[in-house]
Amino acid sequence: MQNWKSALGNARQGESKYKRLVQAITADIDQGTLSDGQRLPPQRQVSDALGISVQTVTNAYKELERQGRVRCEVGRGSFVSRRTSERVATSMLDHDEQALMDFSNARILHTAEHDRLWRQTCMELAQEAEQPWIHAFRPIAGLEHQREAAVRWLARLGMAVSIEDVLLTNGAAHAIFLALATLAGPDDVVLCEGLTDHGAIGSSQVLGFTLKGLEMDHYGLNPEHFEDMCANEKITALVCTPNLNNPTSALMPDERRREIAEIARRYGVYLIEDDVYGPLLTGQQATRPLSHYAPELSFYCTSMTKSVLTGLRIGYLVMPKRLALRTESILRVNSWMAASLMGEVAARWIDSGEAEELVQLQRQLLANRQALVEQELSEHLIGAHPYSLNSWLRVPDGWEIDGLLRELRRRNVALTLPDPFVPPGMPRPRAVRLCVGAECSEAKMRQGVQIVRDVFGQYPKVHDF
């Protein structure tokens, strides 16, 4: 703590002590003096050593937690935590490794049919004399016929909207960021599920708002906790994934969606709905989007990447009418407009019915792989769905999460830690994510899942180096 004491001693008159402490601890984290996962000294100990109040230390730790530099766990203490963007790179592999069965990335299964259709569409586009999707510089919201196709796709998902309500974006993550940028800044509090997509956590660090997680059960976020937070704090927005939450695969029933929408309306809280997995649901399993029940407060975000084609990074953002101009202006500043070529491919596949055919194919492939996982790992399975891209597995007693994943990597299998999905202040669950869209044969998939089963069934080493 010598560096921290020196930093406080060099503070200028009137300068906040807790901010100086935040800067000193941040410097130690960035320089590696404090390593990822290392436990910080108890607040009382820091207070006594530095000659400052416990409240000053508490304020510093809270600010570090808000920034994503520290993870506070009730009853255990405060631990150094790399930023979400850094943790994601190590928890989910961003490059292929030979001989590795990569179950760490949530992606759909790629087939020869995807390749055939893509090549056919590219050839058709290349032969056309008029190619506005290459020359387009405006409109910012997207070409009109592409937005019209988006409206038809959204109707299929239970969202009846007009073209003026829709923006084309570069995927659902881009849409969610635009919605958050429209609503939230450093003075705002945004709620999310207790386990949420890492994009929302990263956005809080970029935009500076405070992100707080809500309790969850098998069906998603707890409405009672949501209402309690709204009643006791000024909440700006709730961002959530009612359909196939990542990583738990929770599917929120219709009754709960109505209840959450009513709470949001009662307290004036905006809703940001991530429905990137919605196209995978069908028939009786498909319920109306949460946004349907409070359209005046809702940003609805979906895309093609998790249902039609991984590289088809085109998203659709439905906005509340009163905020449409503001959101479009942020899109102009952020990326000017979505990639028109991707928008054109998506529009053609929507109109031809080929997008729906690829979704139907994906459902079948996912259901087969989820059945395989259930067959081999049923005793560890705590979250799954036939059309989900991932399964949520309980870590067996005796295993430490990081040690378990290291042992699996030694055996050429990669799963995802829970860390990228845990908002500040929420407990780290004893669970890991297994993604079923790995690019491998069914035989290879079964082999990898059996390795997971075998490791889960063993006692760990006494020493793990």
Q: Would you state the pLDDT for residue 461?
A: 77
Mean pLDDT of 340-366: 97
Place of tokens 């109707």: 155
Cα separations in angstroms, 59 against 27, 51, 65, 66, 102: 17, 15, 10, 11, 40
Distance CA 104, CA 435 (A): 6
Q: Would you state the pLDDT for residue 464?
A: 61
- Which of the four pLDDT bands, split at 50, 70 and 90, describes residue 285? low
Q: Would you state the pLDDT for residue 286?
A: 64
Per-residue pLDDT at 282 exceeds 80: no
Per-residue pLDDT at 342 exceeds 90: yes
294-318 confidence digits (pLDDT tens): 999 999 999 999 999 999 999 999 9
**Architecture, CATH, for domain 132-353:** 3-Layer(aba) Sandwich (3.40)
414 vs 11: which has the higher pLDDT: 414
**Straight-line distance from the first to the last Cα atom of the chain, in angstroms, rounded to the nearest whole number:** 28
312 vs 136: which has the higher pLDDT: 312
Fold observed for domain 1-82? Arc Repressor Mutant, subunit A (1.10.10)
Q: Would you state the pLDDT for residue 27?
A: 85
Q: Would you state the pLDDT for residue 425?
A: 87
Q: Would you state the pLDDT for residue 225?
A: 97
Q: Would you state the pLDDT for residue 87?
A: 52
Q: Would you state the pLDDT for residue 345?
A: 97
Distance CA 404, CA 382 (A): 17
Per-residue pLDDT at 141 exceeds 70: yes
How do the domains of the chain map onto residue ranges?
Answer: 1-82, 92-112+356-457, 132-353
pLDDT > 90: percent of the chain? 71
Non-local (6+) Cβ contacts of 156 within 8 A are: 279, 356
- Which of the four pLDDT bands, split at 50, 70 and 90, describes residue 99? low
Distance CA 228, CA 231 (A): 5
- Which of the four pLDDT bands, split at 50, 70 and 90, describes residue 91? low
Under a CB-based contact definition with an 8 Å cutoff, are residues 240 and 220 in contact?
Answer: yes
Mean pLDDT of 82-101: 57
Mean pLDDT of the chain: 91
For the entire predicted model, the pTM comes to 0.82
Per-residue pLDDT at 37 exceeds 90: no
Q: What is the CATH number that goes with domain 92-112+356-457?
A: 3.90.1150.10
Per-residue pLDDT at 411 exceeds 60: yes
Q: Would you state the pLDDT for residue 126?
A: 93
Per-residue pLDDT at 59 exceeds 60: yes
pLDDT > 70: percent of the chain? 94
